[in-house]
A and B are shown apart, each in its own frame.
Chain A
Amino acid sequence: MGHVQRVFEAAGIPTVGIYIAAFAHVPARMGVSRALITDHPMGRPLGAPGDAVRQRDVVAAALELLTGTAGQTIVSFPHPYRTTARPFA
C-alpha cells in the first residue's frame, strides 16, 4: 500500500494510511505522506471485531492528519489494542 500512497500523492490526491504496529517501519522507509500507526494486530488494523467505538476513533484520528500541510507526518494512535467483551474477540 505504500506504493499506492506514493502514487496517489504524486498524482495530486492527499492520502493518509492506517498502519499496524507490525508495519510501523514502512511509512518512514517508503516515504509516505501521512500515517497513523495503531497498536493493533494483523488483520485488525481498525480494532477488534464489533468494537465500533475504537474503529471510529482510529478512522477519525487518521482523517485528522489529512489536514496537515507540513510534509511527512507519522503519528502513533495513543491507545493499546483492546478486545471487546463479545466472545469472538
Chain B
Amino acid sequence: MTTPEGEPPLTLKDFSDSFFYGSRSNLDFKFLADLSDTETAAFAYDDVPFSILTTPLAQSRVALVTSSGHFVAGDDPKPFGVEQMTQIEAEARIGEFIRAEPTLSHVPVETPADQLRVRHGGYPIDAALIDHNVTLPLRAMRELQHDGIIGELAADAYSFVGATSQLKLRERVAPLWADQLRAAQVDAVLLVPV
C-alpha cells in the first residue's frame, strides 16, 4: 500500500517514534510505542446510546467520574501490587496499564486537598499536582451545588487511570461501575476524560 504520492504509509511505529525527541518531551504519546497497530485501533460506533435526564438538573444528584488517576491518601489502588508506585514508574509501565483492568477509586467529595494523590502515566500531571480541580473539579461542583444549579453532588467522586484496556473497560468494568452509580441513586454523571 502506498499513498497517492508513492510514499509508504506512515505506520503507528513511525508515528510514535516521531515523538521521541527526549525522554519526557513526548509524554502524551510515548505509551503508543509499546502497542501494536491492532491494540490502538480506533473504536468507532454508529449508534449513540442516549438517556434523558428525567429530573430537573436543580433537583438531580450528579456524580463526577474522571480518568485522572486520583485517589485518597491511604487508599492507593496499588497497580500491579506495587506499594506507593511513583509517577515515574507509572510512566515507565504505561504499556502494562493499557492492557490491564482499571481500578475505580472512590474520592469522598469533602476530602481535603492535601489528602488527594494523583498518579497517571499517560498525561502530564503537573497542573493536577498544583490544583486537583483541573482534572477533578470538586470545587466547581460544590459551588454549583451551593448555587442550586445541581440538586446534589453525589457523596463520592470516582477516578481511574484512563490509560487502560478498552475492551476490559467496555465489557466488564464499566457495567459494574454503572451498577454502583445506580445503587448510589445518581441521576446523572459528569465525565472528565484526561
Contacts and interface: CB of A to CB of B under 8 A. Distances in A.
Interface in A1-56: 1-19, 22-23, 26, 29-33, 42-50, 52, 55-56
Given A11-B182, A13-B188, A47 B51 contact: no
Contacts, number: 178
B50 A1 contact: no
Range, interface on chain B:
35 or more
* Interface residues of chain A: helix, strand, loop or mixed (majority): mixed
Contacts of A26: 193
A63 B191 contact: no
Contacts of A69: 52
Interface stretch (B17-25, B91-99, B171-179): B171-179
Interface stretch (B8-16, B30-38, B82-90, B139-147): B139-147
A49 B127 contact: yes
Interface in B23-66: 28, 42-53, 57, 60, 62, 65
A66 B57 contact: yes
Given A14-B187, A46-B134, A55 B140 contact: yes
B193 A72 contact: no
Interface of A: 1-19, 22-23, 26, 29-33, 42-50, 52, 55-56, 58-60, 62-64, 66-67, 69, 71-72, 88
